[in-house]
Amino acid sequence: MNYKFLFIVTSSIIPFKVGSFHSPEERFGQTLDTIKSIRERVPNSIIWITESSSVELPEEYSKELMKQSDYYVEHYDDDILRQLYENLNNCPEKFDFGKSLLETRSLFNTFTQIGDLNFTRAFKISGRYTLNDEFNIDDYESRILNNYYVMQVHIMKNDMFNLLCGIEGQVTTGLWSFDKSLLNETIQMYQKCFSYMDTMMSYTGGIDIEHSIYKWIDHKKIIRVPFLGVNRNHGPNGQVYPI
């Protein structure tokens, strides 16, 4: 079988006015590092950048991102994202969970746009994360993975969201993947996640996408892995560590 891999890089180069520990210049450089790591480890992959900054990126950024990727889409003109940013400007204390809504909306848009692409499996990777030596694309060239998600899952019985919402676990969203046969199901899952997070934001302090996916995904279709082969750039202190 001729496997074709799509990497969807989520990016927000120009951060919200609160909650970011890196400048646009730093975030731009880190996103280029993400792309470089994909090109090095999966040379024939398709790279799609979904950029969800609240404003159009400066031309020097957008031109370079277009050059380094196969598809590049900015979502600053999406009406729902605009409304979310307006709401967060009015209530910046909700940004921690609000950024999950922002990414979920931009990914939903992306998932609805990729159906005609020729790929076997799609990876979602967060910009500023990089594939490391533990990532081996050969692990994904298997019919065993047909009709499955591949994710890192954490069970957290004493987690606040288990106590309050009955959600006993979460998934790692820095890197996960799905077989193309699951595209429509993934779109529907993201619709549910967005509605759920939006409701939780209105009536509670909010909930993140990691717990929301755990709630709405079909667990029978997850192949769970202990390690992902990706380095995480942790915003608050800039520390890089593998997951």
Count up the domains in the chain and report the number. 1
Q: Which residues pair with 177 in a beta bridge?
A: 123, 150
- Give the per-residue pLDDT at 98: 81
Cα distances from 19 to residues 31, 32, 64, 77, 93, in angstroms, run: 18, 21, 26, 22, 9
Q: Which domain holds residue 235?
A: 5-242
Determine the Cα angle at 147 with ends 144 and 153, to 5°: 85
Mean pLDDT computed over every residue of the chain = 92
pLDDT in tens, 140-195: 999 999 999 999 999 987 777 877 788 999 999 999 999 999 999 999 999 999 99
pTM higher than the cut 0.85: yes
CATH number, domain containing residue 149: 3.90.550.10
